[in-house]
Amino acid sequence: MRISVLAVGTRMPAWVYQGVEEYHKRMPRELGVEWKELPLAARNKGSKPEQLKEREGEQLLRAVPAGDRVIALDVRGKSLSTPQLADKLSEWQMSGDNFSLLIGGPDGLSPACLQRADMRWSLSDLTLPHPLVRVILAEQLYRAWTITVNHPYHRD
């Protein structure tokens, strides 16, 4: 199983890359998580958020590897507790499928991305800035994995 995290936005602050890298290096080889950044749509004074989301959504969907199941990170998605995420991660591993997790840019995900998604997942009821979502996602995937292997990182 492979998990591809496709995120809109490049040139993140150093703390984002450091945070993601910290959890990425802890992950086991058998749980491959790949991170790919896609550029923001060109913004100018007359840019409309819906048009920007549409352009970024087209990029995201083109970047999804063929055959992947798609999970859209969306504030209106399904909330999962960490133990529920661990169960979901186990299901994903047992399925043999590959997964692409989509993180939108500052304006969110396009309707096309949400429609293509097999699942919509909310990390929080709060609206989180997209750079922070990357770090939270990396940590939660690592935490979920530690639960599946009874590693002491997660404490109930």
* Tens-place pLDDT, residues 108-133: 999 999 999 999 999 999 989 989 99
- Structural domain contains residue 75: yes
Residue 127 annotated as part of some ligand binding site: yes
Tokens 């919509």 belong to 120
Residue 85 marked as a ligand binder = no
Tell me: is residue 87 an annotated ligand-binding position: no
19-73, pLDDT tens digit by residue? Answer: 999 999 999 988 889 999 999 999 999 999 999 999 999 999 999 999 999 999 9
**pTM of this structure:** 0.94
| Per-residue pLDDT, 31 | 87
| CATH assignment of the domain containing 70 | 3.40.1280.10
Residue 109 annotated as binding site: no
Q: Kindly list the distances between the CA atom of residue 1 and the CA atoms of 17, 19, 92, in Å, as whole numbers in the listed order.
A: 23, 23, 8
Residue 154 domain flag: no
The answer to whether 146 is a known ligand-binding residue is: no
Q: Look at residue 80 and tell me if it is in a domain.
A: yes
**Binding residue per annotation — 114?**
no
Asked if residue 19 belongs to a domain, the reply is yes
Note whether residue 153 is domain-resident: no
38 among the known binding-site residues?
Answer: no
